[in-house]
Amino acid sequence: MSIVEIVLLGVALSMDAFAVTISNAFCYPNASRARLLALPVAFGVFQAGMPLLGYFLGGVVGDFIETYSGIITLVILGFIGGNMIKEGACALRGGGDGEEEVSENDNALTLKVILVQAVATSIDAFAVGVSLRAVSVAVAPAVSIIGVTTLLCCIVALAIGKRFGHLLGDRAQIVGGVVLVFIGIKAMF
């Protein structure tokens, strides 16, 4: 496998992380710069780490991950996206009936949210690691290229999300949630 092929593989694998990064930039406009920069780093690390795990553990759990990766991704991203849609709809209505107050931390881009999203968007990369072993690719350079490619794609996504997120205004959280749900649904097929 050539370097160009590995870069293209990295770009393909990073598209879910790219979309989630844009969604996060839309939905969390007040997130700190450090927290936003944690997105590309986490996505890059997990997009590199999962193929590495697949490469070494593929024979043991590869079939299970390949069989259920779509369902796992749908459940994780569907849950996160569904909550974002619910919170966004509540914000558009002006907070509902006033009985349910959402604290600022409930609508924060936490490290836990970032890590869960990083895992969910990188599950398919595990199967790629299994296939890298099958074609006898040097794993260290391949996963490094995949990780750096994802990091760079997500930095571009952050710039896009920050630039255009204000256009969506209060609807940004709903749009971001819908994107996450659609990514989860896409993972099923």
Residue position matching structure tokens 């490290």: 111
Question: Hey, CA dihedral for 86, 91, 94, 100, is it positive or negative?
Answer: positive
Map residue 100 onto helix, strand or coil.
coil
As a whole number of Å, the end-to-end CA separation of the chain is 26
For the chain, domain boundaries: 3-187
Whether the pLDDT of residue 141 is over 80: the answer is yes
Residue 101's pLDDT is 45
Torsion from C-alpha of 149, 152, 114, 47, nearest 10 degrees: 0
Copy the structure tokens of residue 41.
């780093």
Better-scored residue on pLDDT, 70 or 115? 115
pLDDT in tens, 16-43: 889 889 888 888 878 899 999 999 999 9
133 touches 72 (CB < 8 A): no
Output the pTM of the full model: 0.75
Neighbour count for residue 87 (Cβ, 10 Å): 17
Mean pLDDT of the chain: 81
